[in-house]
Amino acid sequence: MDKIILDGRSLTRAQLVAVARQGTAVELDPTQLERVQHAADFLADKVNCGEPTYGVTTGFGSNADKLLGGHRLRDELVVDKAGTAKAGASLMEELQHNLIVTHAVCVGKPFAPDVVRAMLVIRINTLMRGHSGIRVSTLEALTAMLNRGVVPVVPEKGSVGASGDLAPLSHLAIVLLGGGEAFFEGERMSGADALKRAGLEPIRLSFKEGLALNNGTAQMLATGALALDDLEYLLGVADLAAAMSLDAFAGRSGALRPEVHALRPHPGQVEAAAHVRQLLAGSTLVDIPYHLVPRFKPWSAEAWTLPEDLALSFDIGWDWVPANQRHGREAFYDRFLPFKGGKKHQPQDAYCLRCMPQVHGAVRDAWAQACRVIDIELNSVTDNPLIFPDAEGAQFIEEQVISAGHFHGMPLALAMSYVKAAIPVLASISERRLNKLVDPANNDGLPAFLTGNEDGTDSGFMIVQYTAAALVNDLATRAHPASVYSIPTSANAEDHVSMGANEARHVLEMMEDLGHVLALELYTAAQALDYRREMLNAARRLAARGDWRALAAKIGNAPREDQPHYGQFEQEVRQLMAALADGEDFHAGTAVQTAHALLRERIAFMHRDRAMDGDIRTACALQQQRAFAAAAHPWLVADVVDYP
C-alpha cells in the first residue's frame, strides 16, 4: 500500500497493520474534512453564544458541574513552563491544555512503535467522522506527526478503558503541544525536539480538542488489532505444526474428513480441518498401513550390513502375531499383515491429533468474533460528547451536543477476554502433541526423547517439553479476564470501567509465548519426522534386497524352523517384504516438507546431544519473522520477513 486515505468509515485491519508495521503513509479525505470543520465551526458558534457545553465550558468528570467563567478567579498569569498553560490563554483553552498535561501519567516501559502508530491512525480516523469538534488544522498536525515518523513515548500502563484510554492518549497528544517525549529516527528525545527535527511546530488546542484527542478506545483497539494480526498468522502455524506432528506420527486422517465436519459445522472447526487436509496433501505417511511402520530399537553393531545403512543411528523391529492370537480379529488381519511395529492397532489417534479441528477451530471462532468487534470499532466515534451539528428539529444544545458512553471499552474488553482464554488452549494442545512426540509410551514407535541414546548419555528433546510446559502454565495464569474487575474512578463519576486496555495489552503480550510454544512443536516434530521417514525408508531398502531372512531378523516372536507355524511366518514375512519394497518413498505432505526444509536449512538433525540453545533461538526467530507463512498459508506470503 503506497498511501491510505482516511475518511472515518473504511479503515480495515489490513490497512491499520500497513501503517503500524510497514510505515505506510496516510492522507485525509478532502470531502470528509469539510464535515470535520463544519462540526468545529458549529461548536465555536455555540460557545460564542454562551451555551453551556460539557468539556467545553464545564469541567470534566466530577468537575462537570463547574461552569467556566470569563476570566481567572486569580488575576495572575501562568508562565508556559513544564507543561503549564500559556499566558493569555482563555480558560476554555487552558481547560483543554490542562486536560492533556495532567492526564499523561502512564507508567511502565513504552509501547512498541507499531502500537503507537496504530493508536495514531485510529485516533485520526475516528476524528475524521466529524462528530468530535476538532479543527482541521489540529487533525492535519496529528497526521503530519504520524507521517513524518514522530512516535510519542506512551508507557504501557495507566488506562482503565473508560472514559476511553485517557492517560495513554494524552501521551500521544502532549507531543503535539511540544511536551512529553517521543522517538524520532530511533532516538528518544523531548517532544519539542522531535517535532523540531521533523519540521513541525507545536499547536494550541481550541474548544473540546483535548477531549477529542484523549477520549476514546485507541490503545485497546490498537493492541487488540495488532494481536489479532499476530493470531491470524499463528493459527496457520498451529495447523502447520499439527500437520507436521500428524505426519511424524504416521497418523490417521479420518477425523479431518469434510463429511465428518459437515455434521457439526462450526465455522472455525470446518476451516481448521480443511486447512490441515491441505497441508497434508501429498503425504505418504498419513493413513499408512499399520504393518509397514517399524518401531525404534537402539542401534547395535549388528543392526545393519549395507554400506548405505551403516550411518544410521537406530535399529528397527516388529513383532509377529501368531495365528492362535488372531481369534476374533480375522477381519483385521485379512486387511493388515500380522505384524506389530510402531503403530498401535487402533483406528483413532490421541485427542491432541484427532480433536485438533475442534480445538484449533474453537480458537479460530474466538478470533473471528474479536475481528468482528474490532472491525466495527475501527470506524466508530468513541469520544464524548458527540456533536450533531445538523440534527433536525433541535431546539437545545443538549440535542446537538450529546453526552453518551461510546468511550466505554467493554465491547472490546469482552472480545479480548474471549481471545485471552483461547490462547493457552491453542498452546496447550500444541504442548500435548510435543509431549506425545517425545514420550516412548505414546509416540508410536519413535525413540524416547527422539534420540538414539545407545550409550545412555543423551537427553535428546526431553527438556524442550519442559520449556513448552512452563510457557503454557504462564499463559494459563495470565488468561484470567481483566474485564470482570471494574474499579471506579474520578470520584465515582466514572463508576464502571472496562479494563479493556489491560485486556488487549495482555493478549498482545501473550502472542509471543504462544508463538514460542508453536515453534518448539515444529522444532520437535521436524526431528520426529526425520526419524519416522528414515526408519520407514530403511525398512524399505532392507526389503528391496529381496532377502526375507534379513527382514525376518528384525521381527520378534518368530517361531523356530522346527515349529509348525514357521512356514506361515515365512510366507507372511515375504508379504511384508513385498509391501515395503513395492511402496513409494515415504514422505510428508508438500506443505509440511516445505516447513521442514526451512527448519533444516538452519537447524541440523540432532543425531546425539548437543547444545540446543541456538536451535531454540533459531526456531523461535523463524516463527517471529513469519518465515513459515509460505507453508502455513500462502495468502500471507506478503508478510514474510527476510531473516539473516
Describe the chain by its helix, strand, coil percentages, rounded to 5: 55, 10, 40
The DSSP 8-state label assigned to residue 130 in this structure reads: S
- What 3-state class would DSSP assign to 220? helix
Residues 450-458: contacts with CB under 8 Å, at least 24 apart? 450/524, 450/527, 450/528, 450/531, 450/606, 451/606, 451/608, 451/609, 452/298, 452/299, 452/313, 452/314, 452/607, 452/608, 453/298, 453/608, 454/298, 454/299, 454/300, 454/313, 457/608, 457/609, 458/608, 458/609
Query: Residue 89 class from Cβ within 10 Å (0-12 exposed, 13-18 middle, 19+ buried)?
Result: buried
- In whole angstroms, give the CA distance from residue 312 to residue 461: 19
Closest-CA residue to 464 (of 247, 619, 352, 313): 619
Active site (annotated) includes residue 643:
no
DSSP state of 634: G
C-alpha closest to that of 302 among 454, 529, 450, 457: 454
Look up residue 418 and give its amino acid.
Y
| d(C-alpha 430, C-alpha 237), whole Å | 11
Question: Helix, strand, or coil here: 451?
Answer: coil
Q: How far apart are alpha carbons 50 and 57 in whole angstroms? A: 9
By the 8 A CB rule, do 103 and 167 touch?
Answer: yes
Q: Which of 512, 497, 503, 496 is nearest to 480 (CA)?
A: 503
3-state secondary structure of 549: helix
Q: Quick one: how far is CA 9 from the chain centroid?
A: 26
Name the phi and psi angles at 45, rounded to 5: -65, -45
**Cβ contacts of 392 within 8 Å, gap of 6 or more:** none
Q: For residue 246, give the nearest of 213, 273, 208 by alpha carbon.
A: 273
* Helices 136-147, 113-127: crossing angle, 10 deg rounding: 160
Q: Are 636 and 488 in contact (CB under 8 A)?
A: no
Catalytic residue among 54, 233, 290, 523: 54
Question: Is 18 within 8 Å of 27 (Cβ atoms)?
Answer: no
| 3-class DSSP assignment, residue 314 | strand
Q: Identify whether the C-beta of residue 298 lies closer than 8 Å to the C-beta of residue 452.
A: yes
Whole-angstrom CA distances from 411 to 86, 149, 416 are 39, 31, 9
* Residues acting as catalytic residues: 54
